[in-house]
A and B are shown apart, each in its own frame.
Chain A
Amino acid sequence: NAGVTQTPKFQVLKTGQSMTLQCAQDMNHEYMSWYRQDPGMGLRLIHYSVGAGITDQGEVPNGYNVSRSTTEDFPLRLLSAAPSQTSVYFCASSRPSGGRTDTQYFGPGTRLTVL
């Protein structure tokens, strides 16, 4: 049971490049989400999904795309990287409990630098 895995761990991009951050979970969780973490700002939600084929925007979705074709995978795509997207990205998964989102399990993070 690997939990939530993310690849790559580190990435450097040039402005305008595109890339995909990978996230996978093996806990059969319906809910998956992407956060970015910036100093002094805590974690901010980018996109989330409540199941395969269903995605929605979070607090800071601009410049990012997601899709959810399977329960296990939830990739995050940067369409045209900008320096403002330099951050640490975390993927998380969870299941519902009593109509609420239960404990979120986090991956180890991807540290992205955009030059």
Chain B
Amino acid sequence: AQSVTQPDIHITVSEGASLELRCNYSYGATPYLFWYVQSPGQGLQLLLKYFSGDTLVQGIKGFEAEFKRSQSSFNLRKPSVHWSDAAEYFCAVGAIYGQNFVFGPGTRLSVLP
């Protein structure tokens, strides 16, 4: 069965600093990988996804993620964080259609002015 871990429960960065959120997955085949963001009191919004091809994926709001098969990782990055990026971030792996879509526990990002 697939699983997703996000080692960092809470990260604090200063506005303008770079950001990397870690995600590791376990899946028997090439996974579909996703990053979602959830602002307080809101639903989840897709930031980016990886299905195949180029392992560096660009998303919305200036985010990117890199798929590294050898490390079973799909880390999310942003070169310069804005105060509005403070939110919770979820990594997820999509399985064969009809099976469970698994989310990681989430990483809460705080941004210092």
Chain A residues packing against B (C-beta within 8 Å): 31, 33, 35, 40-43, 45, 48, 50, 56, 58-59, 90, 92, 94, 96-109
Contact = CB atoms under 8 A, between A and B. Distances in A.
Contacts of B9: 40
A98 B101 contact: no
A43 B98 contact: no
B95 interface: yes
A42 B106 contact: yes
Contacts of A102: 32, 94
B43 A33 contact: no
B70 interface: no
Contacts of B101: 33, 45, 94, 101, 104
17 contacts: A42-B90, A42-B103, A42-B104, A45-B101, A48-B100, A50-B97, A90-B43, A97-B51, A99-B96, A100-B51, A100-B94, A100-B96, A101-B94, A101-B95, A101-B98, A102-B94, A106-B43
Interface of B: 9, 32, 34, 36, 42-46, 49, 51, 90, 92, 94-106
Nearest to A30: B97
A56 B95 CA distance: 15
- Closest CB pairs A-B (n = 9): A106-B43, A42-B105, A96-B97, A43-B103, A106-B44, A101-B94, A50-B98, A108-B43, A42-B103
Contacts of B43: 90, 106-109
Given A31-B98, A40-B9, 7 more contacts: A31-B97, A33-B101, A50-B97, A96-B97, A98-B51, A100-B96, A106-B44
A94 B97 CA distance: 10
A100 B97 CA distance: 4
Contacts of B36: 106
